[in-house]
Chain A
Amino acid sequence: MIVELGHFALILAFCLALAQAFFGLGGAALRKPHWMVVTRRAVAGQFVMTLCAFLSLAYAFNVNDFSVLYVALNSNSQLPTFYRFAAIWGAHEGSLLLWLLILSIWTVAVAARGTHVPQITISRVLGVLGFISVGFASFILLTSSPFERLWPAALDGRDLNPLLQDPALAIHPPMLYTGWCGFSVPFAFAVAAMLEGKLDSTWARWVRPWTLVAWLILTIGIALGSWWAYYELGWGGWWFWDSVENASFMPWLIGTALIHSLAVTEKRGLFKSWTLLLAIAAFSLSLLGTFLVRSGIIESVHAFASDPGRGLFILVFMGSCVGGALGLYAWRASLFRSNAGFAVVSRESFLLMNNVLLVAATGLILLGTLYPVFLDALKAGKISVGPPYFSVAFLIPMLPMIFLLTLGMHAEWKRATFNRTRTLLVAAFVAAVVIALILSLAVYEWHSLLTAVGLIAAFAVALSALIEPVTRLRQGHSLSAGVLGMSVAHFGLAIFVLGVTTVESWHHDSDISLRPGQSTQLAGYDFRMNSIRDVTGPNYDAIESEVVISRAGKQVAVVHPQKRTYRVQNSPLTEAGIDAGWGRDLFVAMGEPLGDGAWSLRLQYKPLVRFIWLGALVMAIGGLIAASDRRYRQRVTADAAVRARHAETV
């Protein structure tokens, strides 16, 4: 009964989303204030109904209602309660319901926080968001309802995929969806601006905090996925250039470009049409990600539940969103000419370079991701593009970008002189070279020129990011949240680059066969397999080995890697034993029995690998600080107030 109520609530949510789209866009076009008020009511109603639908599914999972097909396929009575909740988004149908819920949360937030935005603009924004909700709600209702009954009911469920029974992965999809969905807000604002034919600094100030929040959540979501892959899936790798990883990463890159382009639009009123294009692109790539993951056209660890009909629906929906927005852009772009100029060396130029390089990197990743798909669709042969392509293609635009960043942070608007910061920048660069060489030659062994360049880039950005906050604080000036956030985010990037360069240059790994009592050496550490025993978990059985790691005769760590077999699905899973540390991770994973008591083991030494995720976290914190800047909380400006009054009287 509860489940049917949930289904009914979802249908109501769909109807309310229709109303939201119709009254929002129509009310703004016809200047009808009453319609705009209805839009807000519809937003609230849609949220409540979607929440009811979601909670009813959560209830079905919680009480183990295996007469619901989706529950029977993705849960089990032995599954711990926490994972019974996480199992809601363990597969396609529930993921989409979560997506819709998150979208309606964003919509409510825009309606609630957007009180300083003229009503007519906010009405258009809510209308566009309503249109997107209509798309997703009808997608769920027509092709992938999680509320379908199973008759007769299953005695027990088929269990959640063991890979997904992990705390990091339980929160990874919601974070990712929140980030992806969040880009629908700048998209909606972009469409609203194009419909209105007006885009100014105030508009950029409305959009920036939303973009920042979506971006920072996506940053955390991607980092969580990478961390999970590292210890659960990837045998110690942290990024695989897997199609679905790429799908999550491309919106992030474009989102990063959008944040920087918005800075120029806000401060100088430039790059307007470019900003609009980026806002459209960020959301389009988020939709493309959904399409790639859900249509099953790409081969990937993530591409599980696939159905061509679903793929077609998303393709049509994506086509109408993106095509509509681009059509509108082609029609309206001429209204957004900017006439202010800037010198070749200026903050504007640096930010332009940032945008060009980020878009180039996205384009190259898109090429590698979609080319095999097109070739396959044309029946021209089956190929795959190896990860080395992505590494090279990504590095070509990104390395120059990171070096330009050290200067760009301090370039003045209009015409950069670097008068104030020249000495400090030179000092920072010299220091970066010295530190990089010390690390390259004394701490580790010389690896390659590229490694040294990567380290120089990391330290140059880190030191350059410190210049502004440190000098301002020493001179007793205050520091705006915007500048502080920028510095922190760039410092996070430096930490990330340091981690990536170090781990990629100086990691050691080996696959080896060990018997209890035997030991082996790796990167100066001694790995000794002590014992092998059977253990029993709540819903799995496992073989666990004890590996003692020591260095120069002194015990460093004891790890317990496991080979688990989950009872319901009878599927094996490797649970790595990791000794984590700031300086390095030591990683032991069990392979398979080789007979005669021997096991194959994968041993890894990963220097500074934690810096990769730490860097991402610091970037996200920088985004949060920047989004909290006071200027985004200003009340209605005089100009906007006039327009709002105008809208209400018409």
Chain B
Amino acid sequence: MTPRQRRMALVAVVLLTVGGAVGFALKAFQDNVQYFFSPSDVSAGKAPAGRAFRVGGMVTQGSFKRATGSMEARFVLTDFSNDVTVSYTGVLPDLFREGQGVIARGKLDGNLFVAEEVLAKHDENYMPPDVADMLKKKHEKPTGTPTSTTAMTQPAG
């Protein structure tokens, strides 16, 4: 090989390696992008089947059920127009409570949303911004929406 060919070969190898690496990274990116849907979106069938996504809403009062001694919990998430029933097996976060805004990540199984993870924020009056936005649009103001005073009382980490 002439020096020129060798240089071109080197460039080709570098390009292929970098291209392959970027390809892998973008594939991982695509696989892990999770969309956020409201219970109304889910009812309308907008959420993808067989793919993980996040759903957020308020935990409906009185909807939390768990058989005594069982690890599986069921509760209803609402945006005050539509509901989604969520099933979660495991330890719920400290601040999970009825009337709180939470986000669940998981997949749809028929009409049941099987969550792999449930997120509730570490603050009494906290509403995840995605949920607060969504509820605002639903023109019915829930209790516990963050106001300027709660924003002030939340310490930073």
**Interface set of A (CB-CB < 8 Å, partner B):** 73-74, 90-92, 95, 158, 160-161, 163-164, 169, 173, 235, 244, 293-294, 296, 299, 301-302, 304-307, 344, 360, 364, 367-368, 381-389, 392-393, 396-397, 511-513, 515, 563, 569-574, 589, 591-592, 594-596, 598, 600-602
Contact = CB atoms under 8 A, between A and B. Distances in A.
A397 B21 contact: yes
B91 A383 contact: no
30 contacts: A90-B156, A161-B123, A161-B157, A163-B157, A173-B157, A294-B156, A301-B121, A304-B154, A304-B156, A307-B151, A381-B35, A382-B130, A383-B33, A383-B34, A383-B36, A386-B32, A386-B33, A388-B28, A388-B32, A389-B32, A389-B33, A396-B24, A512-B71, A513-B70, A563-B94, A569-B124, A571-B124, A574-B94, A592-B92, A596-B69
Interface of A: prevailing SS: mixed
A89 to B, nearest CB: 9
A598 B68 contact: yes
Contacts of B153: 73, 158
A361 to B, nearest CB: 10
Contact of B33 (A301, A385, A574, A594): A385
B125 to A, nearest CB: 10
B122 to A, nearest CB: 6
Q: Which of B21, B35, B130, B156 has the most CB of A within 10 A?
A: B156
B144 interface: no
Nearest to A299: B129
B109 interface: no
B153 to A, nearest CB: 6
Interface residues of B, number: 39
A163 B94 CA distance: 12
Interface string B102-132: 0000000000000000000111100011100
Nearest to B97: A572
Contacts of A572: 94-95
Contacts of A601: 91
A393 B27 CA distance: 10
Interface in B48-93: 52, 54, 66, 68-71, 89-92
B25 interface: yes
A385 B69 contact: no
B36 A367 contact: no
A574 B89 CA distance: 18
A210 to B, nearest CB: 27
Nearest to B36: A382
Interface centre among A91, A367, A384, A396 (most CB of B within 10 A): A384
Given A74-B155, A572-B95, A161 B122 contact: yes
A91 B155 contact: yes
B122 A600 contact: no
Given A293-B156, A571-B122, A602-B91, A393 B29 contact: yes
B35 A383 contact: yes
A393 B70 CA distance: 38
Contacts, number: 139
A511 B71 contact: yes
Interface of B: 10, 21, 24-25, 28-29, 31-36, 52, 54, 66, 68-71, 89-92, 94-95, 121-124, 128-130, 151-157
Nearest to B29: A389
Nearest to A72: B153
A58 B15 CA distance: 56
Given A382-B130, A385-B29, A306 B151 contact: yes
B68 A595 contact: yes
A158 B154 CA distance: 10
Given A386-B32, A389-B32, A594-B66, A91 B91 contact: no
Nearest to A512: B71
In the A-B complex, list the 7 residue pairs whose CB atoms are closest, starting with the nearest. Answer: A591-B91, A389-B32, A386-B32, A392-B28, A304-B154, A382-B36, A161-B155
Contacts of A364: 25
Contact of A392 (B25, B129, B151): B25
B32 A511 contact: no
Contacts of B92: 591-592
A91 B156 contact: yes
Contact of A382 (B21, B32, B35, B71): B35
Contact of A164 (B24, B91, B155): B155
Nearest to A344: B10
Contacts of A592: 91-92
B74 to A, nearest CB: 14
Contacts of A73: 152-153, 155
Contacts of B71: 511-513, 594, 600
A102 to B, nearest CB: 16
Contacts of B89: 511
A602 B123 CA distance: 22
Given A383-B33, A385-B29, A571-B124, 18 more contacts: A90-B155, A95-B156, A161-B122, A293-B156, A302-B156, A304-B123, A383-B36, A384-B34, A386-B32, A389-B32, A397-B21, A513-B70, A572-B94, A591-B91, A592-B92, A600-B71, A601-B91, A602-B90
A92 B156 contact: yes
Given A161-B154, A305-B155, A594-B68, A573 B29 contact: no
A547 to B, nearest CB: 15
A400 B134 CA distance: 44
Contacts of B35: 381-383
A602 B95 CA distance: 16
Given A92-B156, A598-B69, A589 B34 contact: no
Contact of B69 (A569, A591, A595): A595
